[in-house]
Amino acid sequence: MGKPKRNSSGLSGKPATAPKQQITRSSADQAAKEQQAVALINQGKLQEAEALYKDLIAAGTDNHIVYGNLGAICGMQGRLDELIELLKKALQLKPNYPQAHYNLGNALKEQGDLDAAIASYNKALQLKPNYTEAHYNLGIALQEQGDLGAAIASYNKALQLKPNYPDAHGSLSMAELLGGDYKRGWERYEYRFECKDDKGILNAKPPCEQWAGGGLIEGSKLLLVSEQGLGDTLQFMRYAIALREQGASVSFCAQPKLHSLIKTSGIDPSPLTPQQANKINDGLWIPLLSVPRHLGVSPQNPIITESYIKTTDEFIDKWKGIFLSEQRPIIGINWQGNPSHEKTSSKGRSLPLETFAPIAHLTNASLLSLQKGFGSEQLETCSFRDRFVSCQPQVDETWDFLETAAIIANCDLVITSDTSVAHLAGGMGKNTWVLLKKVPEWRWGLEGDTTFWYPSMRLFRQRERGDWDEVIERVAEALQEQFPGVSAADSGSAQPKQAEAASISSKLLAAIQAPISLGELIDKITILQIKTNHLQGKALENVQKELSALQQTLDALDLQVDPKLIQRLKEVNQDLWQIEDAIRDQEHQKSFGETFIRLARSVYQQNDRRSIIKKEINTTYGSALVEEKAYQDY
């Protein structure tokens, strides 16, 4: 929510033209191009529209709308730096341009510059006081800054201007829940299904009647349907137990990868897949996160606080045996959530693995990575790789949630960012420390180091936005209190490790210069550009460094490569990124059916497109090196 959209991005369907008495052939041509560009935008042909706008700018246009519209196109493609510069130019030409101030606020907010974003929104509102979207996005920026009262006032102003504004209702509900107003928050939270970005959050939608609350007749059939992420399912599936105690015959639809855990925990002996749930015609159903509203869940009325997630004795014994040779205490850590979920209130919840270095250097505890998928690549390059348990490769191969729960059960402590691991460990009643950004998701509130959701959990909150180092310093101190006698300070073990790391770093290779084709160079640049949107911390720094070096190499060639070719190549690589993510997900689910086969085939189909575009670049611009395919056509 809050990203520039076509309907509020500053795109104008009325390009400015010269007064009638001053119209010349040149100005008429310019107006025609502006109208053509708007038509192309309406047709979704953004690349063609962008080329026209760039032609107009090269010809010296002083029309602020041209800069604003071109900026909006850049914003739709995530090119924030270009968007900001174009909007600033538009505002130089027309300072009293509310849409440009609004879009600039959106871009600055996306970059994390909240003070500047708030200033831009306020300027837009000075010029256009009834600017509904500006009030709404100002509320988001204020909430991210921690000014909850001002954020709620902005959301309410947006709703005064536009009562039927689902996104504003949705954001207001999360602000109310974050502030502890659970009664109002739960009521308004029902708007989540009408929000633009949340319409597909339900895992199923059965054809039977939806439960509206109220008393349940003994034996009434009630189907709970999971929604949103795995963490949400793990946190709220406990309420199936409460509803069953009220006499309902409860069944549960959830993500298949959680089914073994759900069965063993006694939540449902036969959980349904989304496909099965979509065929249920009798009884009632309800979205899982609507249940707390009907139960009246709040900090004063948590309903269920005892542990409710269980694993098997066999798995617990298996990992107990594996851990016998490891040095205690064993601390399970998790640092990265799914980047695709970190676009709104979850943005900034993850931290780089390297941030945990003080824990490794100041204690003799063994570390165990619970990280799966995104972020796990950081394990291979972190400075304290040798501090992880010797069985880490075996842990990395364990993707089943039921067995992961057994691994957690055998840890002495779990330290995690705000991910599904927090809910898994907390639901088991495990001693769990959760690292929270300054303004976390609504469920954690704004204050305190405990939470009514999980009595065994301790919260470590950022004191300054984005400052994880200070959080980890407090965690390291707390560890020495939690596990007396595990400090590494007396042994001096940290100093040799640091000296060794410094010695290794002094021997780093200089940048390698190798011959490469133009197409391969541009291909690599587009891949790195994509990676910058998915990585964080040290990994992001490494990618940005490599991207800068390769971009300098390309710039030094002084070629005007057709941006359409570059964009086509980038789109192919973006598709490949998404396809490979989907393949990994299928593989982790051990699902090798038609979907897996279709995805696998699409990899080489996309690579064929990629090869064709690279060769077109090479031949068009006379590259000395040209790659050739070494495989047969399919």
Q: From 557, 545, 555, select the one nearest 508 (Cα to Cα).
A: 545
Question: Residue 178 in contact with residue 186, Cβ under 8 Å?
Answer: no
209-295 and 313-496 in the same fold: yes
- pLDDT > 90: what percent of the chain? 60
Q: What is the pLDDT of residue 589?
A: 67
pLDDT, tens only, 423-479: 999 999 999 999 999 999 999 999 999 999 999 999 999 999 999 999 999 999 999
Q: What is the pLDDT of residue 320?
A: 95
**Is the pLDDT reported for residue 2 higher than 60?**
no
pLDDT surpasses 60 at 495: no
Long-range contacts of 250-255 (CB under 8 A, 24+ apart): 250/222, 250/223, 250/224, 251/221, 251/222, 251/223, 251/224, 252/223, 252/224, 252/226, 253/203, 253/204, 253/206, 253/223, 253/224, 253/225, 253/226, 253/277, 254/203, 254/226, 255/203, 255/226, 255/230
pLDDT, residue 548, reads: 86
Whether the pLDDT of residue 524 is over 70: the answer is yes
Which has the minimum average pLDDT: 323-332, 407-416, 509-518, 545-554? 509-518
Kindly indicate the confidence band of residue 608, based on its pLDDT and cuts at 50, 70 and 90: confident
C-alpha dihedral (497, 499, 501, 504), degrees to nearest 10:
-140
Phi, psi at residue 174, to the nearest 5°? -70, -30
pLDDT category of residue 217 using cuts at 50, 70 and 90: confident
Question: What class, spelled out in words, does domain 313-496 have in CATH?
Answer: alpha beta
Distance CA 415, CA 436 (A): 11
Tens digit of pLDDT for each residue in 280-334? 999 999 999 999 999 999 999 999 989 999 999 999 999 999 999 998 999 999 9
To which CATH superfamily is domain 6-194 assigned?
Tetratricopeptide repeat domain (1.25.40.10)
- C-alpha span between 215 and 225 (Å, rounded): 19
Is a pLDDT exceeding 90 seen at residue 491?
Answer: no
pLDDT above 50 for 588: yes
pLDDT tier for residue 24 given thresholds of 50, 70 and 90? low
Q: Has domain 209-295 been given CATH number 1.20.120? A: no
**What are the domain boundaries of the chain?**
6-194, 209-295, 313-496, 518-620
pLDDT tens string 80-95: 899 999 999 999 999 9
Instruction: Tell me the mean pLDDT in the region 197-222.
Output: 87
Mean pLDDT rounded to a whole number for the chain: 87
Quick one: average pLDDT of 576-586?
Answer: 81
Residue pLDDT, tens place only, 111-143:
889 999 999 999 999 999 999 999 999 999 999
Is residue 221 pLDDT above 80, yes or no? yes
Q: How confident is the model at residue 39 (pLDDT cuts 50, 70, 90)?
A: confident
Q: What is the mean pLDDT of residues 522-542?
A: 84
